[in-house]
Structure 1
Protein backbone atom coordinates (compact mmCIF):
# COMPACT_ATOMS: atom_id res chain seq x y z
CA UNK A 1 0.00 0.00 0.00
CA UNK A 2 1.34 3.42 -0.99
CA UNK A 3 0.70 5.38 2.20
CA UNK A 4 3.34 8.04 1.56
CA UNK A 5 1.94 8.73 -1.90
CA UNK A 6 -1.64 9.14 -0.76
CA UNK A 7 -0.73 11.37 2.19
CA UNK A 8 1.17 13.76 -0.06
CA UNK A 9 -1.69 13.72 -2.56
CA UNK A 10 -4.31 14.48 0.08
CA UNK A 11 -2.35 17.51 1.26
CA UNK A 12 -2.39 18.94 -2.26
CA UNK A 13 -6.11 18.58 -2.88
CA UNK A 14 -7.45 21.64 -0.98
CA UNK A 15 -5.04 23.80 -2.99
CA UNK A 16 -6.98 22.89 -6.13
CA UNK A 17 -9.37 25.63 -5.05
CA UNK A 18 -7.01 27.94 -6.90
CA UNK A 19 -7.07 25.80 -10.05
CA UNK A 20 -10.58 26.74 -11.11
CA UNK A 21 -10.58 28.71 -14.38
CA UNK A 22 -12.66 31.37 -12.62
CA UNK A 23 -12.70 32.80 -9.12
CA UNK A 24 -13.84 30.21 -6.53
CA UNK A 25 -15.73 33.04 -4.83
CA UNK A 26 -18.00 33.17 -7.89
CA UNK A 27 -18.86 29.49 -7.49
CA UNK A 28 -19.48 29.80 -3.76
CA UNK A 29 -21.67 32.86 -4.21
CA UNK A 30 -23.60 31.17 -7.02
CA UNK A 31 -24.54 28.23 -4.80
CA UNK A 32 -25.64 30.55 -2.00
CA UNK A 33 -27.79 32.59 -4.39
CA UNK A 34 -29.40 29.56 -6.02
CA UNK A 35 -29.86 27.46 -2.89
CA UNK A 36 -33.20 26.28 -1.57
CA UNK A 37 -35.27 29.09 -0.11
CA UNK A 38 -33.04 31.87 -1.44
CA UNK A 39 -35.01 34.71 -3.02
CA UNK A 40 -32.16 36.33 -4.95
CA UNK A 41 -33.23 37.70 -8.34
CA UNK A 42 -32.13 36.36 -11.70
CA UNK A 43 -30.41 39.69 -12.32
CA UNK A 44 -28.30 39.21 -9.18
CA UNK A 45 -27.23 35.76 -10.37
CA UNK A 46 -26.37 37.24 -13.75
CA UNK A 47 -24.33 39.94 -12.02
CA UNK A 48 -22.38 37.32 -10.02
CA UNK A 49 -21.47 35.32 -13.11
CA UNK A 50 -20.88 38.47 -15.13
CA UNK A 51 -17.84 39.28 -12.98
CA UNK A 52 -15.96 36.84 -15.23
CA UNK A 53 -16.54 37.71 -18.87
CA UNK A 54 -14.89 34.55 -20.14
CA UNK A 55 -17.22 32.44 -18.00
CA UNK A 56 -20.23 34.45 -19.18
CA UNK A 57 -19.30 33.89 -22.82
CA UNK A 58 -18.97 30.13 -22.36
CA UNK A 59 -22.27 29.88 -20.47
CA UNK A 60 -24.04 31.67 -23.31
CA UNK A 61 -22.35 29.49 -25.92
CA UNK A 62 -23.54 26.34 -24.18
CA UNK A 63 -27.01 27.73 -23.53
CA UNK A 64 -27.36 28.44 -27.24
CA UNK A 65 -25.99 25.06 -28.34
CA UNK A 66 -28.04 22.37 -30.07
CA UNK A 67 -28.17 20.39 -26.82
CA UNK A 68 -30.82 22.72 -25.39
CA UNK A 69 -32.62 23.26 -28.70
CA UNK A 70 -33.94 26.71 -27.82
CA UNK A 71 -35.91 28.59 -30.45
CA UNK A 72 -34.53 32.06 -29.72
CA UNK A 73 -30.96 33.13 -28.96
CA UNK A 74 -30.16 33.84 -25.32
CA UNK A 75 -28.04 36.96 -24.90
CA UNK A 76 -27.68 37.34 -21.11
CA UNK A 77 -26.89 34.98 -18.26
CA UNK A 78 -29.96 36.11 -16.31
CA UNK A 79 -32.10 35.15 -19.30
CA UNK A 80 -30.31 31.79 -19.50
CA UNK A 81 -31.12 31.19 -15.83
CA UNK A 82 -34.77 32.09 -16.45
CA UNK A 83 -35.10 29.75 -19.43
CA UNK A 84 -32.90 26.83 -18.35
CA UNK A 85 -33.37 27.08 -14.60
CA UNK A 86 -30.96 27.86 -11.77
CA UNK A 87 -29.87 24.24 -11.31
CA UNK A 88 -28.92 23.92 -14.97
CA UNK A 89 -26.81 27.08 -14.76
CA UNK A 90 -25.04 25.60 -11.72
CA UNK A 91 -24.33 22.40 -13.62
CA UNK A 92 -22.99 24.33 -16.60
CA UNK A 93 -20.65 26.36 -14.37
CA UNK A 94 -19.39 23.23 -12.60
CA UNK A 95 -18.83 21.41 -15.88
CA UNK A 96 -16.91 24.40 -17.23
CA UNK A 97 -14.79 24.50 -14.08
CA UNK A 98 -13.92 20.81 -14.37
CA UNK A 99 -13.28 21.15 -18.10
CA UNK A 100 -10.85 23.96 -17.28
CA UNK A 101 -8.85 21.61 -15.06
CA UNK A 102 -8.41 19.11 -17.90
CA UNK A 103 -7.00 21.85 -20.11
CA UNK A 104 -4.67 23.08 -17.37
CA UNK A 105 -3.13 19.73 -16.44
CA UNK A 106 -3.77 17.41 -19.34
CA UNK A 107 -4.72 13.75 -19.05
CA UNK A 108 -3.04 10.39 -19.63
CA UNK A 109 -3.40 9.25 -23.23
CA UNK A 110 -5.61 6.31 -22.28
CA UNK A 111 -8.04 8.37 -20.16
CA UNK A 112 -11.22 8.59 -22.24
CA UNK A 113 -12.73 11.95 -21.27
CA UNK A 114 -15.80 11.43 -23.43
CA UNK A 115 -16.51 8.11 -21.73
CA UNK A 116 -15.98 9.73 -18.33
CA UNK A 117 -18.55 12.46 -19.00
CA UNK A 118 -20.99 9.99 -20.55
CA UNK A 119 -20.92 7.91 -17.36
CA UNK A 120 -21.30 10.99 -15.17
CA UNK A 121 -24.31 12.14 -17.18
CA UNK A 122 -25.96 8.71 -17.14
CA UNK A 123 -25.57 8.35 -13.38
CA UNK A 124 -26.90 11.89 -12.88
CA UNK A 125 -29.95 11.17 -15.03
CA UNK A 126 -30.70 7.82 -13.38
CA UNK A 127 -30.31 9.44 -9.93
CA UNK A 128 -32.81 12.13 -10.90
CA UNK A 129 -35.27 9.46 -12.09
CA UNK A 130 -34.72 7.48 -8.89
CA UNK A 131 -35.53 10.48 -6.73
CA UNK A 132 -38.96 10.58 -8.35
CA UNK A 133 -39.49 6.83 -8.00
CA UNK A 134 -38.75 6.70 -4.26
CA UNK A 135 -39.31 10.34 -3.24
CA UNK A 136 -35.82 10.82 -1.81
CA UNK A 137 -33.95 14.11 -1.99
CA UNK A 138 -34.34 16.86 -4.54
CA UNK A 139 -34.01 15.74 -8.17
CA UNK A 140 -31.86 18.70 -9.23
CA UNK A 141 -29.39 18.26 -6.38
CA UNK A 142 -29.14 14.53 -7.03
CA UNK A 143 -28.49 15.19 -10.71
CA UNK A 144 -25.61 17.50 -9.76
CA UNK A 145 -24.15 14.98 -7.31
CA UNK A 146 -24.39 12.31 -9.99
CA UNK A 147 -22.59 14.60 -12.40
CA UNK A 148 -19.77 14.94 -9.85
CA UNK A 149 -19.67 11.46 -8.31
CA UNK A 150 -16.50 10.19 -10.04
CA UNK A 151 -14.69 13.53 -10.00
CA UNK A 152 -11.99 11.94 -7.83
CA UNK A 153 -11.04 9.62 -10.71
CA UNK A 154 -10.50 12.61 -12.93
CA UNK A 155 -8.51 14.43 -10.23
CA UNK A 156 -6.28 11.38 -9.79
CA UNK A 157 -5.66 11.13 -13.54
CA UNK A 158 -4.88 14.87 -13.73
CA UNK A 159 -2.63 15.14 -10.70
CA UNK A 160 -1.22 11.60 -10.37
CA UNK A 161 -1.32 10.06 -13.87
CA UNK A 162 1.20 7.30 -13.05
CA UNK A 163 -0.80 6.22 -10.01
CA UNK A 164 -4.03 6.36 -12.02
CA UNK A 165 -2.49 4.03 -14.62
CA UNK A 166 -1.24 1.66 -11.94
CA UNK A 167 -4.70 1.52 -10.35
CA UNK A 168 -6.33 0.82 -13.72
CA UNK A 169 -3.86 -1.99 -14.38
CA UNK A 170 -4.56 -3.47 -10.95
CA UNK A 171 -8.32 -3.32 -11.53
CA UNK A 172 -8.04 -5.00 -14.92
CA UNK A 173 -5.59 -7.70 -13.86
CA UNK A 174 -7.48 -8.69 -10.73
CA UNK A 175 -11.01 -8.03 -12.09
CA UNK A 176 -11.70 -5.46 -9.37
CA UNK A 177 -14.08 -2.54 -9.28
CA UNK A 178 -12.14 0.72 -9.52
CA UNK A 179 -12.88 1.65 -5.91
CA UNK A 180 -11.61 -1.73 -4.66
CA UNK A 181 -8.44 -1.37 -6.70
CA UNK A 182 -7.90 2.10 -5.22
CA UNK A 183 -8.36 0.79 -1.69
CA UNK A 184 -5.84 -1.96 -2.35
CA UNK A 185 -3.37 0.41 -4.03
CA UNK A 186 -3.31 3.21 -1.47
CA UNK A 187 -6.07 2.66 1.06
CA UNK A 188 -8.49 5.30 -0.22
CA UNK A 189 -11.02 5.48 -3.03
CA UNK A 190 -11.76 8.22 -5.55
CA UNK A 191 -14.96 9.28 -3.75
CA UNK A 192 -13.00 10.81 -0.88
CA UNK A 193 -10.52 12.45 -3.24
CA UNK A 194 -13.26 14.13 -5.25
CA UNK A 195 -15.16 15.27 -2.17
CA UNK A 196 -12.08 16.94 -0.68
CA UNK A 197 -11.66 19.09 -3.78
CA UNK A 198 -15.36 19.91 -4.00
CA UNK A 199 -15.38 21.01 -0.36
CA UNK A 200 -12.52 23.37 -1.13
CA UNK A 201 -14.79 24.88 -3.78
CA UNK A 202 -17.36 25.68 -1.06
CA UNK A 203 -20.04 23.36 -2.45
CA UNK A 204 -22.83 22.49 0.02
CA UNK A 205 -22.92 19.20 1.94
CA UNK A 206 -26.08 18.07 0.17
CA UNK A 207 -23.99 17.79 -3.01
CA UNK A 208 -20.63 16.76 -1.57
CA UNK A 209 -21.72 14.06 0.89
CA UNK A 210 -23.32 11.82 -1.76
CA UNK A 211 -20.09 12.09 -3.75
CA UNK A 212 -17.99 11.25 -0.69
CA UNK A 213 -20.09 8.25 0.35
CA UNK A 214 -21.40 6.83 -2.90
CA UNK A 215 -19.53 3.57 -2.27
CA UNK A 216 -20.52 3.38 1.42
CA UNK A 217 -23.85 5.24 1.65
CA UNK A 218 -24.75 3.89 5.10
CA UNK A 219 -21.79 5.78 6.56
CA UNK A 220 -22.97 9.16 5.25
CA UNK A 221 -23.53 11.27 8.39
CA UNK A 222 -26.14 13.71 7.12
CA UNK A 223 -27.33 12.65 3.67
CA UNK A 224 -27.45 8.86 3.65
CA UNK A 225 -30.64 8.75 1.56
CA UNK A 226 -29.06 10.87 -1.17
CA UNK A 227 -25.85 8.82 -0.94
CA UNK A 228 -27.89 5.64 -1.41
CA UNK A 229 -29.47 7.06 -4.54
CA UNK A 230 -26.10 7.96 -6.10
CA UNK A 231 -24.68 4.56 -5.11
CA UNK A 232 -27.59 2.73 -6.74
CA UNK A 233 -27.58 4.91 -9.85
CA UNK A 234 -23.84 4.33 -10.28
CA UNK A 235 -24.19 0.56 -9.88
CA UNK A 236 -27.13 0.43 -12.31
CA UNK A 237 -25.22 2.27 -15.03
CA UNK A 238 -22.20 0.01 -14.54
CA UNK A 239 -24.42 -3.08 -14.59
CA UNK A 240 -26.00 -2.05 -17.89
CA UNK A 241 -22.55 -1.46 -19.41
CA UNK A 242 -21.10 -4.68 -17.94
CA UNK A 243 -23.89 -7.24 -17.36
CA UNK A 244 -21.37 -9.87 -16.26
CA UNK A 245 -19.35 -7.43 -14.14
CA UNK A 246 -19.22 -7.06 -10.35
CA UNK A 247 -22.16 -4.64 -10.10
CA UNK A 248 -25.25 -6.66 -11.02
CA UNK A 249 -25.53 -8.40 -7.65
CA UNK A 250 -25.05 -5.10 -5.84
CA UNK A 251 -27.91 -3.56 -7.84
CA UNK A 252 -30.28 -6.27 -6.66
CA UNK A 253 -29.32 -5.69 -3.00
CA UNK A 254 -29.66 -1.91 -3.25
CA UNK A 255 -33.01 -2.07 -5.03
CA UNK A 256 -34.40 -4.26 -2.28
CA UNK A 257 -33.06 -1.85 0.34
CA UNK A 258 -34.88 1.14 -1.15
CA UNK A 259 -37.91 -0.81 -2.42
CA UNK A 260 -37.44 -0.18 -6.13
CA UNK A 261 -38.21 -2.68 -8.86
CA UNK A 262 -34.83 -3.62 -10.34
CA UNK A 263 -36.21 -4.39 -13.80
CA UNK A 264 -37.90 -0.97 -13.99
CA UNK A 265 -34.69 0.78 -13.01
CA UNK A 266 -32.55 -1.19 -15.45
CA UNK A 267 -35.03 -0.31 -18.18
CA UNK A 268 -34.59 3.40 -17.42
CA UNK A 269 -30.81 3.05 -17.74
CA UNK A 270 -31.03 0.98 -20.92
CA UNK A 271 -33.33 3.53 -22.55
CA UNK A 272 -30.87 6.28 -21.65
CA UNK A 273 -28.00 4.38 -23.28
CA UNK A 274 -30.04 4.00 -26.46
CA UNK A 275 -31.07 7.68 -26.57
CA UNK A 276 -29.18 10.60 -28.11
CA UNK A 277 -29.08 12.50 -24.81
CA UNK A 278 -25.71 11.17 -23.71
CA UNK A 279 -23.93 11.96 -26.96
CA UNK A 280 -25.46 15.43 -27.09
CA UNK A 281 -24.37 16.17 -23.52
CA UNK A 282 -20.79 15.02 -24.19
CA UNK A 283 -20.59 16.96 -27.44
CA UNK A 284 -21.65 20.20 -25.78
CA UNK A 285 -18.61 20.04 -23.47
CA UNK A 286 -16.02 19.80 -26.23
Structure 2
Protein backbone atom coordinates (compact mmCIF):
# COMPACT_ATOMS: atom_id res chain seq x y z
CA UNK A 1 0.00 0.00 0.00
CA UNK A 2 1.12 3.59 -0.64
CA UNK A 3 0.17 6.88 0.99
CA UNK A 4 -1.42 8.07 -2.24
CA UNK A 5 -3.97 5.26 -1.87
CA UNK A 6 -5.26 7.06 1.24
CA UNK A 7 -5.14 10.54 -0.29
CA UNK A 8 -6.93 9.45 -3.44
CA UNK A 9 -10.07 8.64 -1.43
CA UNK A 10 -11.08 12.29 -1.48
CA UNK A 11 -14.62 11.55 -0.29
CA UNK A 12 -13.19 10.20 2.97
CA UNK A 13 -10.76 13.03 3.78
CA UNK A 14 -11.55 15.29 6.77
CA UNK A 15 -13.84 18.12 5.67
CA UNK A 16 -11.95 21.13 7.00
CA UNK A 17 -13.64 24.51 6.35
CA UNK A 18 -11.87 26.59 3.70
CA UNK A 19 -11.53 29.54 6.09
CA UNK A 20 -9.59 27.32 8.52
CA UNK A 21 -7.22 26.26 5.74
CA UNK A 22 -6.71 29.92 4.81
CA UNK A 23 -6.00 30.78 8.42
CA UNK A 24 -3.35 28.05 8.69
CA UNK A 25 -1.78 29.03 5.38
CA UNK A 26 -1.53 32.60 6.76
CA UNK A 27 0.25 31.62 9.98
CA UNK A 28 3.68 32.46 8.56
CA UNK A 29 2.46 35.57 6.72
CA UNK A 30 3.07 38.81 8.67
CA UNK A 31 0.88 40.68 6.15
CA UNK A 32 -2.11 38.35 6.43
CA UNK A 33 -5.49 40.09 6.34
CA UNK A 34 -7.04 38.72 9.52
CA UNK A 35 -10.01 41.08 9.40
CA UNK A 36 -11.02 39.44 6.13
CA UNK A 37 -10.58 35.99 7.68
CA UNK A 38 -12.66 37.03 10.72
CA UNK A 39 -15.43 38.09 8.34
CA UNK A 40 -15.35 34.66 6.69
CA UNK A 41 -15.54 32.99 10.11
CA UNK A 42 -18.62 35.11 10.88
CA UNK A 43 -20.23 33.94 7.66
CA UNK A 44 -19.74 30.27 8.59
CA UNK A 45 -22.71 29.84 10.92
CA UNK A 46 -21.73 26.41 12.27
CA UNK A 47 -18.17 27.49 13.02
CA UNK A 48 -19.06 30.84 14.56
CA UNK A 49 -21.81 29.39 16.78
CA UNK A 50 -19.41 26.74 18.14
CA UNK A 51 -16.80 29.36 18.91
CA UNK A 52 -19.23 31.78 20.53
CA UNK A 53 -20.68 29.01 22.71
CA UNK A 54 -17.19 28.20 23.99
CA UNK A 55 -16.19 31.84 24.43
CA UNK A 56 -19.27 32.40 26.58
CA UNK A 57 -18.56 29.33 28.73
CA UNK A 58 -17.32 29.54 32.31
CA UNK A 59 -13.79 28.59 31.18
CA UNK A 60 -13.21 32.02 29.65
CA UNK A 61 -14.89 33.92 32.49
CA UNK A 62 -15.71 37.00 30.41
CA UNK A 63 -17.47 39.88 32.13
CA UNK A 64 -20.29 39.97 29.59
CA UNK A 65 -21.88 37.79 26.94
CA UNK A 66 -20.22 37.93 23.52
CA UNK A 67 -22.63 37.78 20.59
CA UNK A 68 -20.40 38.13 17.51
CA UNK A 69 -17.00 37.05 16.18
CA UNK A 70 -15.96 40.74 16.04
CA UNK A 71 -16.72 41.08 19.75
CA UNK A 72 -14.84 37.86 20.47
CA UNK A 73 -11.83 39.26 18.62
CA UNK A 74 -11.91 42.43 20.73
CA UNK A 75 -12.35 40.54 24.01
CA UNK A 76 -9.85 37.73 23.36
CA UNK A 77 -7.49 39.12 20.74
CA UNK A 78 -6.84 37.74 17.27
CA UNK A 79 -4.22 35.29 18.55
CA UNK A 80 -6.66 33.52 20.85
CA UNK A 81 -9.42 33.58 18.27
CA UNK A 82 -7.13 31.96 15.68
CA UNK A 83 -6.56 28.98 17.95
CA UNK A 84 -10.30 28.60 18.57
CA UNK A 85 -11.14 28.72 14.87
CA UNK A 86 -8.50 26.13 13.99
CA UNK A 87 -9.50 23.81 16.85
CA UNK A 88 -13.19 24.10 16.02
CA UNK A 89 -12.67 23.64 12.30
CA UNK A 90 -10.74 20.41 12.73
CA UNK A 91 -12.83 18.92 15.52
CA UNK A 92 -15.92 19.23 13.35
CA UNK A 93 -14.25 17.94 10.18
CA UNK A 94 -15.65 14.42 10.66
CA UNK A 95 -18.78 13.19 12.40
CA UNK A 96 -18.03 9.55 13.21
CA UNK A 97 -14.94 7.43 12.68
CA UNK A 98 -15.00 3.64 12.70
CA UNK A 99 -12.76 2.20 15.40
CA UNK A 100 -11.89 5.59 16.93
CA UNK A 101 -13.40 7.43 19.90
CA UNK A 102 -13.52 10.79 18.13
CA UNK A 103 -14.26 12.87 21.25
CA UNK A 104 -11.29 11.34 23.04
CA UNK A 105 -9.16 11.78 19.93
CA UNK A 106 -9.82 15.52 19.79
CA UNK A 107 -9.61 15.96 23.56
CA UNK A 108 -6.09 14.54 23.51
CA UNK A 109 -5.22 16.61 20.43
CA UNK A 110 -6.41 19.74 22.26
CA UNK A 111 -4.25 18.89 25.27
CA UNK A 112 -1.19 18.24 23.09
CA UNK A 113 -1.83 21.57 21.33
CA UNK A 114 -2.09 23.41 24.65
CA UNK A 115 1.10 21.78 25.90
CA UNK A 116 2.92 22.52 22.64
CA UNK A 117 2.00 26.19 23.00
CA UNK A 118 3.19 26.09 26.64
CA UNK A 119 6.59 24.67 25.67
CA UNK A 120 6.93 26.97 22.64
CA UNK A 121 6.45 29.99 24.90
CA UNK A 122 9.64 28.90 26.69
CA UNK A 123 11.79 29.00 23.56
CA UNK A 124 12.80 31.61 21.00
CA UNK A 125 12.83 28.97 18.25
CA UNK A 126 9.12 28.18 17.86
CA UNK A 127 6.06 30.40 17.47
CA UNK A 128 3.43 29.41 20.08
CA UNK A 129 0.46 29.77 17.68
CA UNK A 130 2.17 27.55 15.11
CA UNK A 131 3.00 25.05 17.87
CA UNK A 132 -0.65 25.01 18.95
CA UNK A 133 -1.87 24.42 15.41
CA UNK A 134 0.63 21.62 14.88
CA UNK A 135 -0.54 20.01 18.11
CA UNK A 136 -4.13 20.02 16.85
CA UNK A 137 -3.16 18.22 13.65
CA UNK A 138 -0.23 16.09 14.87
CA UNK A 139 -2.28 12.88 14.64
CA UNK A 140 -4.19 13.71 11.45
CA UNK A 141 -2.56 10.78 9.65
CA UNK A 142 -4.06 8.30 12.08
CA UNK A 143 -7.47 9.90 11.59
CA UNK A 144 -6.98 9.63 7.83
CA UNK A 145 -6.15 5.92 8.12
CA UNK A 146 -9.29 5.21 10.17
CA UNK A 147 -11.42 7.12 7.64
CA UNK A 148 -9.95 5.55 4.51
CA UNK A 149 -8.91 2.08 5.70
CA UNK A 150 -10.75 1.21 8.95
CA UNK A 151 -9.96 -2.52 8.67
CA UNK A 152 -6.22 -1.85 8.34
CA UNK A 153 -6.41 0.55 11.28
CA UNK A 154 -8.07 -2.18 13.34
CA UNK A 155 -5.44 -4.73 12.30
CA UNK A 156 -2.68 -2.36 13.42
CA UNK A 157 -4.31 -1.88 16.80
CA UNK A 158 -4.64 -5.66 17.20
CA UNK A 159 -0.95 -6.13 16.34
CA UNK A 160 0.04 -3.52 18.93
CA UNK A 161 -2.03 -5.19 21.63
CA UNK A 162 -0.98 -8.76 20.84
CA UNK A 163 2.72 -8.22 20.05
CA UNK A 164 3.49 -5.21 22.28
CA UNK A 165 5.24 -3.43 19.41
CA UNK A 166 5.26 0.33 18.94
CA UNK A 167 2.56 1.92 16.82
CA UNK A 168 5.12 3.08 14.27
CA UNK A 169 6.57 -0.44 13.92
CA UNK A 170 3.09 -1.91 13.54
CA UNK A 171 2.17 0.66 10.90
CA UNK A 172 5.30 -0.02 8.88
CA UNK A 173 4.65 -3.77 9.05
CA UNK A 174 1.00 -3.45 7.96
CA UNK A 175 1.20 -0.39 5.68
CA UNK A 176 4.81 0.16 4.66
CA UNK A 177 4.71 3.71 6.06
CA UNK A 178 3.76 5.51 9.26
CA UNK A 179 0.68 7.63 9.85
CA UNK A 180 3.03 10.53 10.62
CA UNK A 181 4.27 10.31 7.02
CA UNK A 182 0.68 10.08 5.80
CA UNK A 183 -0.20 13.13 7.88
CA UNK A 184 2.62 15.14 6.30
CA UNK A 185 1.45 14.10 2.82
CA UNK A 186 -2.09 15.27 3.60
CA UNK A 187 -0.89 18.63 4.95
CA UNK A 188 1.31 19.09 1.88
CA UNK A 189 -1.68 18.31 -0.35
CA UNK A 190 -3.64 21.03 1.50
CA UNK A 191 -0.73 23.49 0.91
CA UNK A 192 -0.19 24.06 4.63
CA UNK A 193 3.12 25.67 5.68
CA UNK A 194 5.92 23.15 5.10
CA UNK A 195 7.24 23.36 8.67
CA UNK A 196 3.95 21.94 10.00
CA UNK A 197 4.22 18.84 7.82
CA UNK A 198 7.88 18.31 8.69
CA UNK A 199 7.09 18.56 12.40
CA UNK A 200 4.24 16.06 12.11
CA UNK A 201 6.51 13.63 10.26
CA UNK A 202 9.42 13.99 12.72
CA UNK A 203 7.73 14.38 16.08
CA UNK A 204 7.92 10.76 17.24
CA UNK A 205 11.74 10.88 17.21
CA UNK A 206 12.94 14.38 16.27
CA UNK A 207 16.60 13.89 17.19
CA UNK A 208 16.96 11.00 14.72
CA UNK A 209 16.64 13.24 11.66
CA UNK A 210 19.47 14.81 9.68
CA UNK A 211 17.75 18.21 9.72
CA UNK A 212 15.76 18.05 12.96
CA UNK A 213 12.84 20.42 13.42
CA UNK A 214 12.63 22.43 16.68
CA UNK A 215 8.85 22.48 16.16
CA UNK A 216 8.87 18.66 16.04
CA UNK A 217 10.85 18.67 19.30
CA UNK A 218 8.26 20.93 20.97
CA UNK A 219 5.55 18.58 19.73
CA UNK A 220 7.45 15.57 21.11
CA UNK A 221 7.66 17.21 24.54
CA UNK A 222 3.93 17.95 24.44
CA UNK A 223 3.16 14.33 23.55
CA UNK A 224 5.44 13.14 26.35
CA UNK A 225 3.54 15.16 28.95
CA UNK A 226 0.18 14.13 27.47
CA UNK A 227 1.17 10.45 27.75
CA UNK A 228 2.30 11.06 31.33
CA UNK A 229 -1.10 12.55 32.17
CA UNK A 230 -2.86 9.56 30.60
CA UNK A 231 -0.69 7.19 32.62
CA UNK A 232 -1.26 9.22 35.81
CA UNK A 233 2.50 9.44 36.41
CA UNK A 234 3.75 11.51 39.35
CA UNK A 235 5.91 14.58 38.88
CA UNK A 236 9.16 12.95 39.97
CA UNK A 237 8.91 10.05 37.52
CA UNK A 238 8.04 12.52 34.75
CA UNK A 239 11.17 14.52 35.58
CA UNK A 240 13.32 11.38 35.62
CA UNK A 241 12.30 10.42 32.08
CA UNK A 242 12.13 13.98 30.71
CA UNK A 243 13.89 13.96 27.30
CA UNK A 244 16.51 16.67 27.86
CA UNK A 245 18.08 16.10 24.42
CA UNK A 246 14.72 16.84 22.79
CA UNK A 247 14.26 19.90 25.03
CA UNK A 248 17.69 21.16 23.93
CA UNK A 249 16.72 20.71 20.26
CA UNK A 250 13.49 22.61 20.91
CA UNK A 251 15.42 25.44 22.53
CA UNK A 252 13.46 25.09 25.76
CA UNK A 253 15.30 26.51 28.76
CA UNK A 254 16.85 23.90 31.10
CA UNK A 255 14.90 25.13 34.14
CA UNK A 256 11.63 24.15 32.43
CA UNK A 257 12.08 20.71 33.99
CA UNK A 258 11.26 22.34 37.33
CA UNK A 259 7.95 23.67 35.95
CA UNK A 260 6.54 20.35 34.77
CA UNK A 261 4.01 20.27 37.62
CA UNK A 262 2.27 23.17 35.86
CA UNK A 263 2.34 21.35 32.52
CA UNK A 264 0.81 18.23 34.06
CA UNK A 265 -2.25 20.19 35.22
CA UNK A 266 -2.88 22.25 32.07
CA UNK A 267 -6.40 22.12 30.69
CA UNK A 268 -7.17 23.01 27.10
CA UNK A 269 -10.67 24.31 27.84
CA UNK A 270 -11.59 23.27 24.30
CA UNK A 271 -13.38 19.95 24.80
CA UNK A 272 -16.74 21.63 24.23
CA UNK A 273 -15.78 22.12 20.58
CA UNK A 274 -15.95 18.38 19.93
CA UNK A 275 -19.56 18.04 21.10
Q: CA RMSD in A?
A: 3.2
Question: Where does structure 2 lack aligned partners over 5 or more consecutive residues?
Answer: 234-239
Equivalent residue, structure 1, for 2:216? 227
How far apart in 2 are the matches of 1:202 and 1:182? 25
Equivalent residue, structure 2, for 1:27? 20
**Retained in 2: the 8 A contact 1:214–1:230?**
yes
Question: Where does structure 1 lack aligned partners over 5 or more consecutive residues?
Answer: none
- Structure number with greater CO (CA < 8 Å, separation at least 6) is 2
Equivalent residue, structure 2, for 1:162? 151
Equivalent residue, structure 1, for 2:264? 270
**Are 2:101 and 1:112 aligned?**
yes
Equivalent residue, structure 2, for 1:46? 38
- Alpha-carbon distance, 1:172 to partner: 1.7
Bigger proportion of residues as helix:
1
Residues 206-285 of structure 1 mapped to structure 2, 5 A cutoff: 206-218=195-207, 219=209, 224-242=213-231, 251=243, 253-255=245-247, 260=254, 263-264=257-258, 266-272=260-266, 277-278=267-268, 280-285=269-274
Q: Residues 78-130 of structure 1, C-alpha deviation per residue, up to 9 Å, x if partnerless?
A: 22223223343333333333333321xx2225x22233223222222222222
Equivalent residue, structure 2, for 1:205? 194
In structure 2, relative to structure 1, the CA distance for the partners of 1:64 and 1:122 (3 Å cut) is: same
Moved more, 46-55 or 152-161: 46-55
- Alpha-carbon distance, 1:36 to partner: 4.4
What is the count of residue pairs matched by the alignment? Answer: 267
How far apart in 2 are the matches of 1:119 and 1:285? 11
- Alpha-carbon distance, 1:16 to partner: 6.2
Identify the match of residue 82 of structure 1 among 67, 74, 86: 74
- Alpha-carbon distance, 1:164 to partner: 1.2
